[in-house]
Amino acid sequence: MQTNQYDLLIIGAGVSGSALLYLTSRYTDIQHIGLLEKYAAPARVNSLSSNNSQTLHCGDIETNYTLEKALKVKRAASMLRNYATAQPDHHHIIFKYSKMVLGVGSKECQLLRERFKIFGEHYPNLQLLDKKAIAKIEPAVATGINGDGLRDDEIIALGSTDEYTAVNFEALSRSFVRQAEMLEDKQVDVHYNETVQHIKIEADYFIIETDGVCYRSKSLVVCAGGHSLKLAHDLGYGLHYSCLPMAGSYYFTPQCLNGKVYTVQNDALPFAAIHGDPDVLVPGETRFGPTALVLPILERYNLKTLPDFLQVFRFDRRVAKVLYDLMKVKDIRHYIFKNLLFEIPIIRKFLFLKDVRKIVPSLKLRDLRFAHKVGGIRPQLIDKDHQKLLMGEAKIDTGKGAIFNMTPSPGGTSCLENAEIDMRAIVSHLGASIDEAAFKKDLLGDDQKHAQNDFTGRVISDN
């Protein structure tokens, strides 16, 4: 029988909230765990399969990652892979495709050669691929503009061919929820169609109010994307953060790639360059993107989230300064302007074609199709105190049993690692315990046992 009182209440059934539901119900002795989700099923927002690039980021082909960041992401990716491959329906969750990062021109090629020297020893499957080797894996990438013969410009790639590289984060979220609900030794309740409106603290309990129901919980983890910040502000936390929602759009072409092809990142830009990927649910096509466009909403294609954006944007002099500083950089200014044009019908196809031809030179205008209703929103935070745009995930741990997660890319990949951090914090708050042996055996494979595990490094403590 369902009650309204919990030891732990999680808000949001995207991949972050559902991963935490799974970890806490499977590996801790916390007895009463609840999950509130405003839609009728898990993963309807950014974790929806069509709303992200479906990449399992391992750090080897992401040239914007330092070695330290890459190894951290590698550990997170390995946890996800260990979970997913152990599931009987793993072929709906995780997928093997070739992957590579492509360098075009002497500067990018040199950068990749240098990177290989440093990253190669940490990634045994990573290979340095010349034009002919690229042609064997991705013929369309190595072929010239007319579709015959090798392309003239200098190219090189770093890549691998036999790894899990793509994840359906929507199927993964459903799997986490299903596995948690199957456990019989504790109470795990998932409440759909419940939108959290307000949170307050009474005595030692969090009181969580939805439209019709009031829940009480000893601890609380909010995994509601950009809405996490709104709920944190509600409780008086994270007031020095503003949220800048960055929408990403995609284009489909007939299938021209066999796997994932990333490009070298421009260091001056805060967002990943466009890449080409198979869509795990759309066979026969290749998906290129994402673009990056600031939109004043917290959920893509949901204008009702405009007032929520206005609440979390908290525009003031410090936010204006961060935006002004970004716009001062020529590459960023051009990038923002170009991404605006990417949304304008007709013009956008011409502009996007120029960018995708770096990956597949023979693509034609008629091959490109704007992917309608595809692509979510990355809730990037602005730290007003330090006057900078934060990249990657952000967390507000109140230290008093409430945690708020904001998870732009690579939040899908790091769902279990992030959930592990929250699980440890909540267990410590509740005085509960973790079955460490089972946790290590199931999720941390041999290759990860000695990996660095900086549990507190990313936690932003707030009060």
Ligand X SMILES: Cc1cc2nc3c(=O)[nH]c(=O)nc-3n(C[C@H](O)[C@H](O)[C@H](O)COP(=O)(O)OP(=O)(O)OC[C@H]3O[C@@H](n4cnc5c(N)ncnc54)[C@H](O)[C@@H]3O)c2cc1C
Which of 24, 47, 49, 63 contacts ligand X by CB under 6 A? Answer: 47
Binding part of the chain for ligand X, among 38-46, 100-108, 174-182, 234-242 by CB under 6 A, reads: 38-46
Stretch 284-313 residues interacting with ligand X (CB under 6 A): 290
Q: Does 259 bind ligand X (CB under 6 A)?
A: no
- β-pairing, 187-191 with 198-202? unpaired
CA nearest 434: which of 32, 29, 83, 33? 29
Q: Give whichever of 57 and 74 is closer to ligand X, judged by the CB atom.
A: 57
Are 64 and 268 in contact by the 8 Å Cβ rule? The answer is no
Rounded-to-integer distance, Cα 51 and Cα 43, Å: 10
Stretch 187-216 residues interacting with ligand X (CB under 6 A): 195-196
Rg (CA), the chain: 22
Which of 375, 401, 423, 426 contacts ligand X by CB under 6 A? Answer: 375
Q: Which one-letter amino acid corresponds to residue 72? A: K
Collapsed DSSP state (helix, strand, coil) of residue 450: coil
Rounded-to-integer distance, Cα 160 and Cα 120, Å: 11
Q: Give whichever of 62 and 143 is closer to ligand X, judged by the CB atom.
A: 62
Which of 59, 103, 245, 248 contacts ligand X by CB under 6 A? Answer: 248
CA nearest 444: which of 121, 80, 21? 80
Binding part of the chain for ligand X, among 15-23, 60-68, 259-267, 448-456 by CB under 6 A, reads: 15-23
Shortest distance, position 289 Cβ to ligand X, whole Å: 7
Q: Does 427 bind ligand X (CB under 6 A)?
A: no
Binding part of the chain for ligand X, among 93-101, 174-182, 357-365, 373-381 by CB under 6 A, reads: 373-381
Q: Does 402 bind ligand X (CB under 6 A)?
A: no
For the sheet with 260-263, list strands across it. 127-129, 155-160, 99-104, 260-263, 275-279, 282-289, 251-254, 369-370
Number of residues that bind ligand X (CB under 6 A): 43
Query: Which positions ≥6 away from 447 have C-beta within 8 Å?
Result: 78
Which of 16, 28, 78, 219 contacts ligand X by CB under 6 A? Answer: 16
Q: Does 339 bind ligand X (CB under 6 A)?
A: no
Q: Does 392 bind ligand X (CB under 6 A)?
A: no
Which of 235, 407, 422, 423 contacts ligand X by CB under 6 A? Answer: 407
Q: Does 103 bind ligand X (CB under 6 A)?
A: no
Binding part of the chain for ligand X, among 7-15, 104-112, 360-368, 429-437 by CB under 6 A, reads: 7-15
Please spell the DSSP secondary structure of 183-230, one letter per residue.
--SSEEEEE-S----EEEEETTEEEEE-SS-EEEEEEEEE--THHHHH
Binding part of the chain for ligand X, among 1-9, 261-269, 400-408, 437-445 by CB under 6 A, reads: 400-408
Number of C-beta neighbours around residue 65 at 10 A: 21
Which of 45, 158, 188, 394 contacts ligand X by CB under 6 A? Answer: 45
Which of 102, 158, 223, 280 contacts ligand X by CB under 6 A? Answer: 223
Binding part of the chain for ligand X, among 47-55, 105-113, 280-288, 448-456 by CB under 6 A, reads: 47-55
Binding part of the chain for ligand X, among 39-47, 108-116, 181-189, 320-328 by CB under 6 A, reads: 39-47
**Cα separation of the two ends of the chain:** 36
β-bridge partners, 460: 396
Segment holding 99, helix H or strand E: strand 99-104
Residues 68-87: x/- map of binding to ligand X (CB under 6 A)?
--------------------
Residues 129-168: x/- map of binding to ligand X (CB under 6 A)?
----------------------------------------
Peptide bond into 290 cis (omega under 30): yes
Binding part of the chain for ligand X, among 42-50, 109-117, 142-150, 310-318 by CB under 6 A, reads: 42-50
Q: Give whichever of 143 and 160 is closer to ligand X, judged by the CB atom.
A: 160
Are 159 and 101 in contact by the 8 Å Cβ rule? The answer is yes
Q: Give whichever of 348 and 378 is closer to ligand X, judged by the CB atom.
A: 378
Which of 34, 59, 103, 225 contacts ligand X by CB under 6 A? Answer: 225
Shortest distance, position 63 Cβ to ligand X, whole Å: 15
Rounded-to-integer distance, Cα 135 and Cα 130, Å: 9
Q: Which one-letter amino acid corresponds to residue 7? A: D
Which of 8, 20, 30, 36 contacts ligand X by CB under 6 A? Answer: 36
Structure tokens at 382: 């602005």
Binding part of the chain for ligand X, among 63-71, 105-113, 349-357, 370-378 by CB under 6 A, reads: 370-378
Rounded-to-integer distance, Cα 207 and Cα 58, Å: 39
Please spell the DSSP secondary structure of 359-413, one letter per residue.
T-TT--GGG-EE-TT---EEEEEEETTTTEEPPS-EEEE-SSSEEEEE--TTTTT
Binding site for ligand X (CB under 6 A): 11-17, 36-39, 43-47, 51-55, 57, 169, 195-196, 223-225, 227, 248, 290, 375-378, 405, 407-413
